[in-house]
Amino acid sequence: MPCTSNAVDAQPLTVVSNRLPVELHRNREGLAVRPSSGGLVGAMSPILRDRGGTWVGWPGCSVDGDDWTAPLEAFAQQSGYSLEPVNLSQADIDAYYAGFANSVLWPLFHGFSRLCEFRPEFWKRYLDVNRRFALRLARSKEVGSHVWIHDYHLIHVGKMLRTAKMDLERLGFFLHIPFPAVDLCRRMPWMHQIVDALLAYDLVGFQTPQDLHNFLGCVAHCMPHCEIERGRTSAVLDVGHRRLRAEAFPIGTDFDDFSERASRPEVAARAEALQRELGPYDILLGVDRLDYTKGLIHRLEALEVALERYPSLRERVVLYQLVVPSREKVGAYASLKDELERTVGRICGRFSTRKWSPIRYRYGRVDRVELGAMYRQARAALVTPLRDGMNLVAKEYVASQVDANGVLVLSEFAGAAGQLADGALLTNPYDTEATAETIRRAVEMGADERASRMAMLREVVRETDVYWWAERFVDRMEQPLDKRSVAEPL
């Protein structure tokens, strides 16, 4: 079982994220807490179990009016760590979650500033909710002195904890999405406050060295007196009264879990069934949340160009596009589903023959067996976001490719491109013709090249899995600054 290297005398850890790692629900016996799946939960749970600790977050539903004490205690006994739910009202969800987090920070940090709604009431509610999280942490007896806060929803919690003079030894923050360059970030009226809040942590983690570099550019712009000692993947910042570290930690996936599952006979059987269902064609796979950053329309258009330019691909490939619903209440997402369906319809109408259709579109969530079967069977995965912090689908595909038969087509704007450039076929998703050509290359690649590229990819994804990521972050967070400055000096 993975555990941190200093687990013996380790302090309990508190993890804070917008959502708790569980779903609360009501069954015949009453109230129940069910663990949810996902990379972050999988990575943090063993660490929390090892060291003891607490996870603070929104349970995804209102916990008012019901007594959740008993089911939460039962969960703590079973999992080895406790949960602290923070309640959010509908007004919070509208203005903090759908508002500031997903209509300001998400689009801006991904480079879609035209979709930003810079509304002061969103900002005010964002601060209110961050304060509520901080208060919850400050008042809880379960919360220890080592706290790790996750993602763009909760940037201000650290600063608020410092203001409340909470007795914290180590305070870390990890941003799961990209950090924008200064020229983009400057469009946000609250840029200075956001940068200042990030400087309240002992360790600020980013997905890639580029995100780190962008952050340092924003710090230099907002706080010209801050001294920065730069390395390639890390930096030490001196803000006058204190020093902090900023560093790139590319998140990974649970390689062994995906790989082991993909090897199971039931997954192999499901993969064969899927192939029969789709016909004797090479499967191109897309797996995405329904999000404008994922480049779904651009991908479909690239396929359209590929079918137009390379007739040999007709009746040879089928794109199996799986889309999971997401943020349906946020304005910019509502029209995307319609546009996607129209585009699928147009391409199918244009190229389908009596026995073949170029796209199979599926809207909904699938379980891990089904997902493993798709990953295992696909001749190529088309992971072509317009911008992405990391993109775990790319790594899950690689981990599930136990037959080393497939090709990863990867956007150069996904954080994962920095680690996977050698084995993947990189493409610029805005360049539809180049992406079309990359699709053709992936389909026509010989078995030897596919196997050697996939072997390279599997090595990287195995070595830098999600446990590696979490342990490295916690180790660095707990390392005193005077011990070592930058990880890799320039």
Q: Three-class SS of residue 478?
A: helix
C-alpha distances in Å from residue 283, one per residue of 276, 371, 375, 376: 11, 14, 10, 10
Instruction: Please calculate the CA angle 283-293-349 and round it to the nearest 5 degrees.
Output: 45
Please indicate whether residue 176 is annotated as part of the active site: yes
The residue behind tokens 């258009």 is: 301
Both structure tokens of 356:
């073949």
Rounded CA gap, 402 and 259, in Å?
6
Residue 206: enclosing H or E segment and its boundaries? strand 203-206
Rule CB under 6 A: say whether 380 interacts with ligand ADQ: no
Q: Does 115 bind ligand ADQ (CB under 6 A)?
A: no
Of 52-60, 184-192, 284-292, 441-449: span binding ligand ADQ (CB under 6 A): 284-292
Sequence-distant (6+) residues with CB within 8 A of 1 are 46, 50
388 is catalytic: yes
Please identify, using beta-carbon distances, which residue of 42 and 71 lies nearer to ligand ADQ. Answer: 42
Q: Does 176 bind ligand ADQ (CB under 6 A)?
A: yes
CB nearer to ligand ADQ: give 337 or 441: 337
One of 251, 296, 454, 477 touching ligand ADQ (CB under 6 A): 251
DSSP conformation letters of 97-161: IIIIIIIIIHHHHTT-GGG----HHHHHHHHHHHHHHHHHHHH-SS--SEEEEESGGGTTHHHHH
Binding flag, residue 390, ligand ADQ (CB under 6 A): yes
| Binding track, positions 1-40, relative to ligand ADQ; x by CB under 6 A | --------------------------------------x-
CB of 270 to ligand ADQ, least distance (A): 14
Which residue of the set 176, 288, 298, 465 is catalytic? Answer: 176
Q: What residues are paired with 278 via a beta bridge?
A: none
322 lines the binding site for ligand ADQ (CB under 6 A): yes
Given a contact cutoff of 8 angstroms between Cβ atoms, the answer to whether 146 and 478 are in contact is yes
Least Cβ distance, residue 371 to ligand ADQ (angstroms): 6
Contact 432, 302 (CB under 8 A): yes
The catalytic residue among 211, 288, 291, 388 is: 388
Q: Whose Cβ is closer to ligand ADQ: residue 82's or residue 427's?
A: 427
Number of residues binding to ligand ADQ, judged by CB under 6 A: 19
Q: Are 418 and 408 in contact (CB under 8 A)?
A: no
CA distance linking residue 33 with residue 228, whole number of Å:
45
Q: Is 324 in the site for ligand ADQ (CB under 6 A)?
A: yes
Chosen residue from 287, 359, 382, 461 binding ligand ADQ by CB under 6 A: 287
Examine residue 388 and tell whether it contacts ligand ADQ (CB under 6 A): yes
Q: Looking at the DSSP assignment, which residues form a beta bridge with residue 427?
A: 411
Nearer to ligand ADQ, 238 or 260 (CB): 260
Residue 154 touching ligand ADQ (CB under 6 A): no
Among 166, 182, 223, 366, binds ligand ADQ (CB under 6 A): 366
Interaction site with ligand ADQ (CB under 6 A): 39, 176-177, 251, 287-289, 322, 324, 365-366, 371, 388-393, 396
Q: Which residues are catalytic?
A: 176, 388
